[in-house]
Structures are given as structure tokens and as C-alpha cells.
């Protein structure tokens, strides 16, 4: 994943209280999640390929022919089945909203429950990048935890959004390589900018409410300093897994996170 420079601490998004607010949008569980009141930004240019292409997974299962399907669907068949059901009865319309899908991924799949806001959302064709955030303890500031990359999974205007990764910021996850075939134990690493950071690593798969592997905690800090961890996991063969690294503990349990997609060999 491509790095872009940023401040040592999470990006501070200041909302103008007189002109903007946070509108409530329902998530898959029926409770409300806050998103910015301003409209989603759009641009006609092709999306920059921040998330590197995957290689080992069957090409028929990749999103847009190159990205790992992390969540909420694991296969094109699952996405198509939802699409057909939605056309019949309108079920689970949140799949059509990149912002709600990104928040559901963060809160319901990764279990980062404090990260329940959207600070910014940018759409470029079939790609969207959603800046998921949490509210500062004081004032109306939003602190961005990650930039979630989503891609339309399938064809048609009603194709659902699929999470395929995150963009690198001041906290990156560069090992294992995106789309790599992996076995347990797994070496995970990247770079971080911060002070007194504590990195936690989890391995997750769709359909499971608990991690299939976990390692905690790795002390880190400095400017662009490397960090590394080793995690054991158990997962069914032939699966796409999400490796997630997180850090926090200063003002929130999880303040920044990064994810990548890997594959378990079929045999």
C-alpha cells in the first residue's frame, strides 16, 4: 500500500458547529451511526490504486479483478445473492452506502466500537475512500482512525460496496504483502509515527465474531519507525483473511488502525 505523509497524531477534523452537524444513519444492527452532514465528494478520475493487487486468490473471486474481498462478502456469489434479494424486497440497503459499510466493517466486524463517525468520504467511480473517526473528548473534533478503501463488488448500479483494504497513513501495515498466501505463524509489520504506541494484531475472517489469531502488545514509537509482531492463527483452508493492526490508549482504546488481506492455501 502506498504511504502518504501525515502528522504524528491522528488527523484532526474540525466541524463548524454553526453550519454542519452529524446526521444519524442506521447500520445493519439497527442503531444509529453518525456521518458528516456534507454530501459525499465525487470525482470523475479513475481511482488511484493505493491498495496493491492481490495474486494468489482465484481471479474470479477478486473484487474488480484485483482486490481481496475482506467484508461483508467473501465471494461474488454472496454479493449477487444479496443484490437479487435487495431487488425483490429492498433488504439491507446499507450495502449501497459506502459510508455505512465502512462504519459497519469498523464497528461490527473489527469490533472497534468507539470508531462510529465518518469525517470524510470521497468517491471515484467504483471506488470509495471513507475516513472513519471517533469524537474527541472535548469539542466537536473528529479524530480519523483510518481511511477505508471500498470497491463496488459486481455489476450494475445496485452492486454492493466491499471493503478491500485501508490506505497507509502515519501507521502502516506492509507485511505480509497484500494478497499473499500465508500460513501460521505469521509475521506482521509496518511503520508507525507516534509516541508510546502499543500495537495489537488480530487475524479475522468473515462469519466469525472473534479473532482466529491475536498478538498483543508491541511497543513502538518515533517517526516512521518499523514495528513487527508474530501471530498464530487457525482458519479454514481457501479463505481470505483480514489482518488488522491497531494502536491506541492515549485518548481512546483504538486510535488508529490498518488492515490488509491475505489468503490461506486450499490444502
The pair phi, psi for residue 79, each rounded to 5°, is -65, -40
Q: Considering its fold, how many domains does the chain have in total? A: 1
Residue 249 structural domain:
12-263
Cα 47 to its chain centre, rounded Å, is 17
Instruction: Tell me whether residue 5 is in a domain.
Output: no
Q: Of the ranges 41-45, 132-136, 155-159, 255-259, which one carries the lowest mean pLDDT score?
A: 41-45
C-alpha cell at position 57: 486468490
Q: What is the mean pLDDT of residues 169-187?
A: 96
| Residue 17 CA from chain centroid, whole number | 28
pLDDT of residue 204: 98
Q: Report yes or no on 214 lying in a domain.
A: yes
For the stretch 155-172, pLDDT in tens is: 999 999 999 999 988 999
Give the CATH number, domain containing residue 124: 2.60.40.2550
What is the pLDDT at residue 137? 82
Residue 2 lies in a domain: no
Question: Does 247 map to a domain?
Answer: yes
In a domain, 3, yes or no: no
Q: How many CB atoms lie within 10 A of CB 136?
A: 16
7 in any annotated domain: no
Does 1 map to a domain? no
**pLDDT, mean of residues 221-250:** 95
User: Does 110 reside within a domain?
Assistant: yes
Amino acid at each position: 500500500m502506498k504511504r502518504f505523509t501525515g502528522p504524528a497524531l491522528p488527523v484532526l477534523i474540525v466541524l463548524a458547529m454553526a453550519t454542519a452537524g452529524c446526521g444519524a444513519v442506521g447500520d445493519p444492527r439497527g442503531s444509529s451511526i453518525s456521518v458528516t452532514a456534507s454530501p459525499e465528494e465525487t470525482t470523475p478520475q479513475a481511482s488511484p490504486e493505493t491498495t496493491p493487487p492481490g495474486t494468489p486468490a482465484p481471479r474470479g473471486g477478486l473484487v474488480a479483478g484485483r482486490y481481496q474481498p475482506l467484508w461483508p462478502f467473501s465471494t461474488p456469489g454472496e454479493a449477487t445473492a444479496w443484490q437479487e434479494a435487495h431487488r425483490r424486497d429492498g433488504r439491507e440497503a446499507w450495502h449501497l452506502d459506502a459510508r455505512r459499510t465502512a462504519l459497519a466493517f469498523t464497528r461490527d466486524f473489527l469490533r472497534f466500537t468507539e470508531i462510529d463517525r465518518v469525517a470524510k468520504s470521497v468517491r471515484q467511480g467504483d471506488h470509495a475512500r471513507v475516513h472513519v473517526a471517533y469524537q474527541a473528548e472535548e469539542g466537536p473534533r473528529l479524530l480519523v482512525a483510518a481511511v477505508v478503501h471500498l470497491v463496488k463488488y459486481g455489476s450494475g448500479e445496485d452492486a454492493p460496496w466491499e471493503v478491500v483494504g485501508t490506505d497507509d497513513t502515519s501507521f502502516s501495515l506492509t507485511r505480509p504483502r497484500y494478497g499473499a498466501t500465508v500460513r501460521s505463524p505469521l509475521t506482521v509489520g509496518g511503520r508507525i509515527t507516534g509516541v508510546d504506541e502499543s500495537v495489537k494484531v488480530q487475524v479475522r475472517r468473515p462469519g466469525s465474531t472473534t479473532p482466529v489469531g491475536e498478538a498483543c502488545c508491541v511497543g513502538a514509537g518515533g517517526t516512521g519507525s518499523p514495528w513487527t509482531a508474530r501471530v498464530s492463527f487457525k482458519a479454514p483452508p481457501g479463505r481470505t483473511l483480514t489482518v488488522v493492526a491497531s494502536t491506541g490508549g492515549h485518548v481512546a482504546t483504538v486510535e488508529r488502525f490498518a488492515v490488509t488481506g491475505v489468503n490461506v492455501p486450499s490444502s
